[in-house]
Every structure is written in C-alpha cells, then in structure tokens.
Amino acid sequence: MSKVGFVGLGVMGRPMAAHLRTASHELYVHDHKPAPQSLVAQGAVDCASGQAVAERADIIITMLPDTPHVAAALFGAAGVAGGLSAGKIVVDMSSISPIETREFAKRINSLGCQYLDAPVSGGEVGAKAASLTIMVGGPEDAFAKVRPLFELMGKNITRVGGTGDGQTCKVANQIIVALTIEAVGEALLFASRMGADASKVRQALMGGFASSRVLEVHGERMIKRSFDPGFRIELHQKDLNLALTAAREVGLSLPNTASTQQLFNACAANGGKAWDHSAMVRALELLARYQIGAAPP
C-alpha cells in the first residue's frame, strides 16, 4: 500500500481522499480546518500542515479552489515543498492556470521530485461515486506510478501530454461546458417564449443530434428551477478567466467564451455567484424579461 498525502478536504477532496483510505492506503491529510471526523474514523491521520503531510507521504495530492491556493499550499509557510525529499511525487488535482502549473512543476522538480497536473471533471457527484474524469499532464513514469490511485477516484483517466497539458485540457472542458449551458439556456428560453412546453421540447431534443449531458442534467434544472450547486458559478467564472487569460497571452481570440463569461458575471452581480452554473439561464431571462415556464405575454 502507498503512503498518500491529501491537502484540501473540501466538497471534492473529502470523498476523493475517502476512496483512497477505503482501499487501505496510508493516508495523511491536511486542510485549513480539522479533517472530517468520518475520515479520521477511517484511519486517516490529520496533520498540522502540508509540510507534515509531505514528510510522511510518498505521493502528495492537492485539491484546492484556485491557483493562489495551490501556490500557498505548495510553497507557503509550512507548505508541501518544505517536507519533500527526492523521489516523491506531487499531484495537483485542482483546476488552475496551465501557465502557473508549469512554473510550479519546475520548482518541485528542482527538489528532486516529480509533478503531475491532474484536474478532474464530474463534480461532487463524480467525486462521491469515484467516477471522475481525470486529465493528466506530466512524465509518463510518474503517471504510471500514480495511476492506481487515480483509478480509485475516477473512471476516464487520460494522460494528455506533458506538464500543464492536463490543466489545458480541463480549461478546454470548461469552455465546452459553459458554451453548451448557454446554448441549452437559449434554446429552452426560445421554446418556452414561443409557447411550447419546454419540458417536452427537452424530451424531444434528447433523442436527436442536439442531445448532450448538459441538456439532460442542466436542461432539467432550468425547467425545474433547481439551482442549488452542483458547481458554483463563481468557480466556472474562475475557469473561464483562466481560459481568457491564457488565450490573451498567446494572442488567441475566444469570442464566445468571453460573452459567456459576461453572462456569468451578470448572474454574480445579481447575487448568484453561489448558484449552480446552470443558472446562467437567469441572465438570459433577465435580458428577455421572461422566465422559462411562464405564460408568454
């Protein structure tokens, strides 16, 4: 069994870490607050810092909200880097900047350790069900060593390429998801405003070329007005900001990504940063002065 460290025990990290312990790996954990009692009861060791985790584990996983959080966890006071020794592997499963990821990897490599970026898709449901999609960048030999751990947390596991390519893949994923939410929102809003039953329109579209997981899950949320997260708008804003920032640095135009980010911004401005990202449709409804399911004026 491996000695595994896990830093970041939030909505996603908590069940992911639990799967590792269920498989009897030695598990050393750290978060900004005490580890969940359920995890400790499984046998996880709650450590005082990321450094303490890294001193005891051979493979250290981070699962944190954003790039600055990962930087602090790795290189801040009592951070992971302070506890590393040659031969260990750091795996960041957060969704952060591909550009900063490459810099983090260089710093970890300089300590004689390897670095994998391995962001995930599938949300809280996927984390609990161990069915996450995991997109990995980094050395092939390190990937081979960590893959058995990935298989305890996910189903679709792909080494995309070198360092940073996992994060690039995740950003691409978030572009597709955001733009598809926007398309589904427009379509159901149009159908409802024209007097059709949006629920039946969605049912019909699910059998055709327009079918998608977003239409299935988030289309239903839009119709039922069920916007408890899920995946919060503020987190998707962060991901699209990563896309737009990186695109600007390489001289690339992403016009629809930019316009979709503005719809998220409109939701946040109306108190919706913690809404599920399917609630982007509310921004479209504000523009239309009409809500899906209402009687056409």
DSSP state of 29: E
Neighbours of 295 (CB within 10 A): 7
Q: 106 catalytic, yes or no?
A: no
Report helix, strand or coil for 6.
Answer: strand
Q: How many CB atoms lie within 10 A of CB 132?
A: 27
Task: Look at residues 252, 95, 243 and name the one whose alpha carbon lies nearest to residue 178.
Answer: 243
* From 3, 155, 170, 224, the catalytic residue: 170
Q: 219-224: which pairs have CB atoms within 8 A and are 24 or more residues apart?
A: 219/184, 219/188, 221/276, 221/278, 221/279, 222/184, 222/185, 222/188, 222/198, 222/278, 222/281, 222/292, 223/188, 223/198, 223/199, 223/292, 223/293
Q: What are phi and psi of 263, to 5 degrees?
A: -70, -40
Q: Are 136 and 160 in contact (CB under 8 A)?
A: yes
Q: Which residues are catalytic?
A: 170
